[in-house]
Amino acid sequence: MLQIQNLHAAYGKVEVLHDISLEVPKGKVVTLIGSNGAGKTTTMRAVSGMIKPSGGSISLNGKNITGLTSNKIARAGLAHSPEGRRVFATLSVTDNLLLGAFPRLTFGRERGDVQGDLARVFELFPRLKERAGQQAGTLSGGEQQMLAMGRALMLNPEVLLLDEPSMGLAPLLVNEVFRIIAELKGRGITMLLVEQFAAAALEVADYGYVLENGRIACHGPAQQLKDDPAVKAAYLGASH
């Protein structure tokens, strides 16, 4: 489904990703864990076209999407719920969600059942339905996170990128976010998940990659990584 081969990325002259290769098979949840500054978010940004990779290749469903602009990558079927949520503050909750389906609403013909998908997102996040007409900027952090995820789902994506969906949320809401990720997994949605809560991420994921200083340090089935003494010591000690 999503294939990343020998990806390099740099901010200015400083290379921050070195030779990253990873794969997200159809219907699977793959997680990328690692400490702050390891390059998790940069990897996500390079995949969705927010930054241009300086080397390597990325393909979605066999189609080469390397170096395309983010809007073309979205149109190819990749949705990215970015770090920091990035909701459209002055637009209503409903408008934010409809914009998630933008490629499906343009050029006069609707592709798929957008209204039905909107109803399904509201079902998944009842809180958003209550706030449907409210400006997104006035939502709480947790609600904004739900909105960012719901907005990404509105694309009906082939692959969903979730970057730090639990960041800055109260423990109760963190559990809620992971419950929803598990629910989405049950629906067969292919996901690449970046999380600071490595234990919870490995719990829901099928496969994991550990990123250290911009390189893949190790990878394996999620269960196996969870039991790996080195991974345990470095990433699973403090959180949860």
Residues binding another protein (CB under 8 A): 48-50, 69-71, 74-75, 79-80, 82, 86-91, 95, 98-100, 102-103, 105-106, 135, 137-141, 144, 151, 155, 168
Closest CA to 48 of 60, 39, 37: 60
At 19, list the tokens: 């030779």
Shortest distance, position 235 Cβ to another protein, whole Å: 25
Shortest distance, position 28 Cβ to another protein, whole Å: 22
Shortest distance, position 86 Cβ to another protein, whole Å: 4
In the bound state with another protein, the residue whose beta carbon lies nearer, of 99 and 218, is 99
In the bound state with another protein, the residue whose beta carbon lies nearer, of 142 and 208, is 142
In the bound state with another protein, the residue whose beta carbon lies nearer, of 44 and 222, is 44
Q: What angle do CA 63, 182, 211 make, to 5 degrees?
A: 60
Q: What dihedral do alpha carbons 14, 24, 29, 142 form, nearest 10°?
A: 40
Beta strands in 77-221 (DSSP E): 78-81, 159-163, 190-194, 207-212, 215-221
Shortest distance, position 32 Cβ to another protein, whole Å: 18
β-bridge mates for residue 79, sequence order = 160
Separation of alpha carbons 86 and 96, rounded Å: 10
In the bound state with another protein, the residue whose beta carbon lies nearer, of 37 and 168, is 168
In the bound state with another protein, the residue whose beta carbon lies nearer, of 21 and 102, is 102
Closest CA to 85 of 40, 178, 147: 147
Rounded to whole angstroms, what are the CA distances from 61 to 31, 151, 192, 208? 19, 22, 15, 20
- Edge-to-edge, what's the strand order for the sheet holding 190-194? 78-81, 159-163, 190-194, 29-33, 207-212, 215-221
In the bound state with another protein, the residue whose beta carbon lies nearer, of 5 and 134, is 134
Shortest distance, position 50 Cβ to another protein, whole Å: 6
Shortest distance, position 82 Cβ to another protein, whole Å: 6
